[in-house]
């Protein structure tokens, strides 16, 4: 009987070890997708010579411009018929033509904001010598 006890105990140990093995815990992978904001947005703040500040946010994807001036917000739509970047609605018009930034009230031709940006100074011109 003692001769059978050792192999039986050994067999029970082997069976219990293999029966108690659980598969390894699988790692759960969570993929969080960022909200798709593929809009091409540029934001600029301009200050004129009088100290007035205008904040211009241009959404090139939706062809809209949002203007913040004197605590008011104006939503404008890009006008393709006018030169360079010009946006307008029924009452207001914003334009950025060659560095001249103008925001005006159309029906009374009143300029609410105007800034003529100076061209950036480039370094001295280098001439090629032969």
Backbone torsions φ then ψ of 45, nearest 5 degrees: -120, 125
Mean pLDDT to the nearest integer, 72-84? 83
Q: Does the structure show a pLDDT above 60 at 46?
A: yes
Computed over every residue of the chain, the mean pLDDT equals 78
> Residue 110: what pLDDT?
87
Greater confidence (30 vs 69) lies with 69
Report pLDDT for 60: 84
Q: In the structure, what pLDDT confidence band is assigned to residue 66 with cuts at 50, 70 and 90? A: very high
Burial class (CB within 10 angstroms; exposed 0-12, middle 13-18, buried 19+) of 52 = middle
- Give me the pLDDT at residue 97, please: 85
DSSP string spanning the chain?
Answer: -HHHHHHHHHHHHHHHHHHSPPPPPPPP---PPPP-----EEEEEEE-TT--EEEEEEETTTTEEEEEETTEEEEEEE-SSSSSEEEE-SSEEEEEETTEEEEEEGGGTEEEEEEEPPPPPP-PPP----
Lowest mean pLDDT among 14-23, 53-62, 103-112: 14-23
Mean pLDDT across the stretch 13-37?
Answer: 64
């Amino acid at each position: 009987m003692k001769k059978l006890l050792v192999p039986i105990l050994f067999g029970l140990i082997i069976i219990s070890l293999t029966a108690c093995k659980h598969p390894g815990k699988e790692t759960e992978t969570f993929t969080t997708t960022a909200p798709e904001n593929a809009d091409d947005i540029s934001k600029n703040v301009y200050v004129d010579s009088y100290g007035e500040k205008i904040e211009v946010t241009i959404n090139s994807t939706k062809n809209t411009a949002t203007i913040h001036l004197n605590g008011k917000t104006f939503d404008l739509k890009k006008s393709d018929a006018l030169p360079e970047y010009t946006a307008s609605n029924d009452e207001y018009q914003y334009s950025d033509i060659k560095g001249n930034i103008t925001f005006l009230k159309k029906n009374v031709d009143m300029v609410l904001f105007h800034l003529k940006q100076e061209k950036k100074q480039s370094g001295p011109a280098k001439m090629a010598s032969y």
